[in-house]
Amino acid sequence: MFESGKPTKLSEEFVKKAAAVLEIDLAKNPAPAVVSITAAFSEGVLGFCPDPECPSNFPYLVGGRLVYRSHLAAGKHCAHCGELLEKRCPACGAPLNEGACCAACGSGYVTPALDESVDVRRYVAERQSAIRALA
């Protein structure tokens, strides 16, 4: 999971268990910073850009619903567009979790600002390729 780019899936409990099996002393070898990402969410260190047009927000479809996978960032303002980062769920105020939707209330963090005439599939494909082209 770590190697596939999902380091937050490693729970602290799992890291301790793996360390015990591998005979690694975590006191001498502090756990990598990724383990504290869960803490960073609840302490409001990480935030997301609320602007759906910002390149930090990668749009995709889940069952026809437009959601945004936000690039979580530390600091006060979005490094891409300067917007004030949201540190909590805008709908219910719960601490952020990884992903595009709030685990507490289910609302998407970034609100799509499209009018109904827009072909959402095409919009997503165009935004994704434009954002990929930035990299």
- Sign, CA torsion 41/43/45/49: positive
Please choose, from the candidates 101, 120, 103, the residue with its C-alpha nearest in 3D space to the C-alpha of residue 111: 101
Site residues (CB under 5 A) for Zn ion, limited to 25-54: 49, 51, 54
Contact with Zn ion (CB under 5 A) among 10, 66, 85, 89: 89
Q: Kindly state the smallest distance separating residue 105's Cβ from Zn ion, in Å.
A: 3
Least Å distance, CB 22 to Zn ion, is 38
Q: Please say whether the beta carbons of 46 and 71 come within 8 A.
A: no
Residues that bind Zn ion (CB under 5 A): 49, 51, 54, 56, 78, 80-81, 83, 89, 91-92, 94, 102, 104-105
